[in-house]
């Protein structure tokens, strides 16, 4: 247990989970907009030869969002690709629209004991399950930012993410 999570109560874990679930739901809607902005005929576009294509990055965000939440609920992280990528960007967003809320529901049903149970993250981290919700959120936001940077170079429009863009002005 880290110093930051030492002595955390079950009540805190439940409250933190509930707070993060609300935020994760809002973030998922933004993620869907960014992924949906990837043009189907340009999903193989790469900013750099070492990087992922826009389609690969989109699938990484969507599939890991779902997998990470499911693994928190299961109490064990596994280094495996659990899901096969659908063929199109629209199918990816459709898959995510179904699977992500189901994964959030699994987290919502976790008991205080499950939320405070220590999980090993590949030997790198040992935190209570609830603490990984913040990690899941940061992972998604990080990669979504990468994908948003692809949109203009591939000829797409950048959606409102946190307060408008040149293509989708903030409505206040």
Show me where the domains of the chain are located: 18-151
Greater confidence, 36 or 168? 36
Residue corresponding to tokens 């987290």: 107
pLDDT bin (cut points 50, 70, 90) of residue 2 is: low
pLDDT at 3: 47
In this predicted structure, the answer to whether residue 127 has a pLDDT above a threshold of 70 is yes
Residues, the chain, total? 172
Neighbouring residues of 133: CB distance < 8 A, sequence distance ≥ 6: 16, 17, 20, 21, 24, 72, 107
The pTM of the full predicted model, rounded to 2 decimals, is 0.92
Q: How far apart are CA 90 and CA 37, in angstroms?
A: 10
pLDDT at 82: 87
Model confidence pLDDT, tens digit, residues 60-98: 999 999 999 999 999 999 888 889 999 999 999 999 999
Task: Render the burial of 126-160: b for 16+ CB within 10 Å, e for the rest.
Answer: ebbbbbbbeebbebbeebbebbbebbeebebebbe
Nearest to 144 by CA among 162, 132, 130: 162
May I ask the CATH architecture of the domain 18-151? Answer: Up-down Bundle (1.20)
Neighbouring residues of 135: CB distance < 8 A, sequence distance ≥ 6: 68, 121, 125
In this predicted structure, the answer to whether residue 5 has a pLDDT above a threshold of 70 is no
Model confidence pLDDT, tens digit, residues 12-70: 999 999 999 999 999 999 999 999 999 999 999 999 999 999 999 999 999 999 999 99
Q: How far apart are CA 56 and CA 39, in angstroms?
A: 13
């Amino acid at each position: 247990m880290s110093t930051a999570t030492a002595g955390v109560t079950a009540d805190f874990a439940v409250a933190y989970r509930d707070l993060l679930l609300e935020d994760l739901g809002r973030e998922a809607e933004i993620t869907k907009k960014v992924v949906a902005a990837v043009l189907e005929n340009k999903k193989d576009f790469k900013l750099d030869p070492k990087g992922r294509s826009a389609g690969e990055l989109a699938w990484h965000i969507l599939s890991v969002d779902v997998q990470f939440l499911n693994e928190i609920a299961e109490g064990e992280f596994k280094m495996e690709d659990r899901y096969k990528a659908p063929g199109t960007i629209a199918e990816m967003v459709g898959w995510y629209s179904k699977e992500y809320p189901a994964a959030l529901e699994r987290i919502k049903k976790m008991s205080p004991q499950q939320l405070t149970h220590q999980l090993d993250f590949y030997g790198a981290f040992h935190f209570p399950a609830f603490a990984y919700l913040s990690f899941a959120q940061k992972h998604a936001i990080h990669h979504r930012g990468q994908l948003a940077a692809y949109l203009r170079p591939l000829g797409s429009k950048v959606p409102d993410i946190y307060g408008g863009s040149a293509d989708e002005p903030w409505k206040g």
